Chain A
């Protein structure tokens, strides 16, 4: 799943259209959208780093986000000399207010240009050399990295203004076109992040077996965590065999079940 945060409606519209996102009825603080399967969500934060940070937390709450999900801040940014419409991924984020820096880790293959970005508090037409300028990235990145691992958090910016065409000349339709024209790049980036997020492994086990065992005896929370780990090992060592349920039914408590399973696993040498 990918959570997208945009500052403006105009930035959101082409993405909502392309991914066929629907507005959520119950999201009344920030406007939020999702596709049918909730594999792509989009939240409109409004302008500024605080708004963006708050939108991340809001999104996390309404979609019950897990560590395996990726986060994307998509929006427009200024740059002294780059052509309008150039898509750029941020490789360093500097918050000009706090002077803090972050370093997004681009560990997937990407043909996108990557550059540092400065998040500023007020719009300007003074463009520093070598940096993009925006008003959200630092707040977004700071907040999203509290929710997941930094390799899955990125800021994709489309250059909307430069020293020849200042930001005052932007309007809703220009912004929409800038995003619309880069929808393929956006899709590619979402796909890359999706593939990457699959590398994060959660400890999962055979749910049927887990439910069966936990219905036989009372398992405390800690017992349940242990059981999941043990069943995961069981799956690896005995992919086609289930534990002896007749024997398990004779045990008096959860600990005895766990001990039996562990004993069976430990006496089985691992074969590489």
Chain B
């Protein structure tokens, strides 16, 4: 799976580094001074590297936990995100990572302890407020768990922090490490979902929708909080029929009474990310969609967006109570 591992000299003897190198004993090990020497270099092609990404093991020195964008909220007073990893094993065509990063190599920050300390510090300093932490912004939270063991490390430690809620955003079926422990009340496993046909066309290398739903159900049955993330919604022929069947299917396969939260938003990207995406995949159907540039971002044209969002929002509202639904973008003008 991994044929080359780049190791920052600083973490060369870190126990996690040694553990991971053992797992990939056939990989070439290459040292570097700082991960950015490999990761941020110019003249890299994300699409080509996605064919065989390497793994970079590094130490995260600052900005371990960052304030989350306002539209990321699921009702917390304060919202933060953190990324123990950069990049994802999946290759979803709409993903902003391919626009944001020059390299498709995975970066894993092995100083897990400092992520935990930072999270704890924030919660302690805002003891009277609910602090929500989002993982899975720059990577899938669970897909590499068998390699990283990050959540296995973090979850038991945060379970008793009363004002914390942790969201693990994922498309993964790698849930063994969660099933092996008691469910943690202040953790939500948030599944990103799309209608099956669209997922087959766009969510390359990711588990299919029925597998994602089966994993979500297993977790739910064991007592884990499950969130649903209908973001990004993708415009398609027969969108009403496609999404009606899809939302019904999701509701059918999960215990909807127990759903923790639902978020919803249509495809949108910063314009320069979208331009990169178009240059990597000019032949992809997604690129041919009716998009428009608005300010510094690209999203569906207003009429399309209105049709997509208003229909999907109404459908979602028919299954879940309003207080559990969180729009990822301003919906007023579309619904």
Residues of chain A touching chain B, judged by Cβ–Cβ distance below 8 Å, are: 91-92, 101-103, 105-109, 114-116, 145-146, 148-152, 196, 199-203, 229, 232-233, 236-237, 265-267, 269-272
Are B43 and A146 in contact, CB atoms less than 8 angstroms apart?
A: yes
CB of A108 within 8 A of CB of B52, answer yes
Question: Is the pair A203, B47 in contact by a Cβ cutoff of 8 Å?
Answer: no
Known: A149-B44, A272-B202. A105 touches B49 (CB 8 A): yes
In the assembly, what is the distance between CA of A265 and CA of B54, in Å? 39
Docked-complex contact A105 and B47, CB < 8 angstroms: no
Residues of A within 8 A of B6 (CB): 103
B269 to chain A: closest CB distance in Å?
16
- Residues in A neighbouring B239, C-beta threshold 8 A: 269
Partner of B48, one of A101, A199, A269, A272: A199
Q: Are A151 and B283 interface neighbours, CB within 8 A?
A: no
Number of residues on chain B facing chain A (CB within 8 A): 47
B280 at the interface (CB under 8 A from A): yes
Chain B residues within 8 Å of A196, by CB: 48, 51
Q: Bound state CA distance, A146 and B43, in angstroms?
A: 7
Question: Are A149 and B28 also in contact (CB < 8 A) when A101-B37, A272-B285 are?
Answer: no
Question: Is the C-beta of B115 less than 8 angstroms from some C-beta in chain A?
Answer: no
List 4 additional contacts besides A103-B32, A269-B237, A271-B237; criterion CB under 8 Å.
Answer: A237-B288, A270-B236, A270-B285, A272-B198
| Measured CA separation A102–B28 after assembly (Å) | 16
In the A-B complex, the 10 residue pairs with the closest CB atoms: A272-B201, A149-B45, A266-B290, A271-B237, A151-B48, A107-B52, A269-B237, A233-B288, A145-B43, A103-B38
Q: List CB contacts (< 8 Å) of B33-73 with chain A.
A: 33, 37-38, 41-45, 47-49, 51-54
A232 touches B201 (CB 8 A): no
- In the bound assembly, the distance between CA atoms of A152 and B44 in angstroms comes to 9
- Cβ contact of B289, chosen from A149, A202, A232, A270, cutoff 8 A: A270
Residue numbers in B under 8 Å from A272 (CB-CB): 197-198, 200-202, 234, 236, 285
Q: A236-B283, A270-B286 are known contacts. Are A91 and B44 too (CB-CB below 8 A)? A: no
Per the bound structure, the CA–CA distance linking A143 and B258 in Å amounts to: 59
Chain B residues within CB distance 8 Å of chain A: 3-4, 6, 28, 30-33, 37-38, 41-45, 47-49, 51-54, 105, 197-198, 200-202, 234-239, 278-283, 285-290, 301
State the Cβ distance, B291 to closest chain A Cβ, in Å.
Answer: 9
How distant is B278 from chain A, measured CB to nearest CB, in Å? 8
Q: How far is the CB of A209 from chain B (nearest CB, A)?
A: 16
Bound together, the chains give a CA A3 to CA B298 distance in angstroms of: 38
Instruction: Indicate if the CB atoms of A150 and B44 lie closer than 8 Å.
Output: yes
A212 and B38 CA atoms in complex are apart in Å by 46
Q: Which of B32, B49, B234, B237 contacts A107 (CB 8 A)?
A: B49
Q: CA separation between A271 and B288, bound complex, in Å? A: 10
Which B residue's beta carbon lies closest to that of A266? B290
- Which single residue of chain B is at the shortest CB-CB distance from A196? B48
Docked complex Cα distance between A212 and B160 (Å)? 70
Contacting pair A107 B282 (CB below 8 A): no
Q: How far is the CA of A24 from the CA of B146 in the complex (A)?
A: 55
Min Cβ gap B193→A in Å is 15
In the complex, what distance in Å separates the CA atom of A121 from the CA atom of B44?
Answer: 27
A101 neighbours in B (Cβ, 8 Å): 32-33, 37
8 Å CB contact of A91 from B30, B45, B49:
B30
Check A269–B235 contact: CB distance below 8 A: yes
Closest-CB distance, A138 to chain B (whole angstroms): 14
Output the least CB separation between B148 and chain A (Å): 22
Q: Let me know if B45 and A271 touch, CB within 8 A.
A: no
Contact A265 to B44, CB < 8 A, known contacts A105-B54, A272-B285 = no
Contact B41 A150 (CB under 8 A): yes
8 residue pairs from A and B, CB less than 8 Å apart: A91-B4, A91-B30, A102-B41, A105-B44, A115-B28, A150-B45, A266-B290, A270-B285
Contact (Cβ within 8 A) A92 B30: yes
Residues of A within 8 A of B202 (CB): 272
Contacts of A201 in B (CB 8 A): 279-283
B45 contacts A232, CB within 8 Å? no
Which of chain A's residues has its CB closest to B234's CB?
A272
Q: Which residues of B contact A267 (CB under 8 A)?
A: 290
Could you say which residues of chain A place their CB within 8 Å of the CB of B31?
A: 92
Q: How far is the CA of A203 from the CA of B282 in the complex (A)?
A: 6
Q: Roughly how many angstroms separate A150 CA and B49 CA in the complex, as a whole number? A: 10
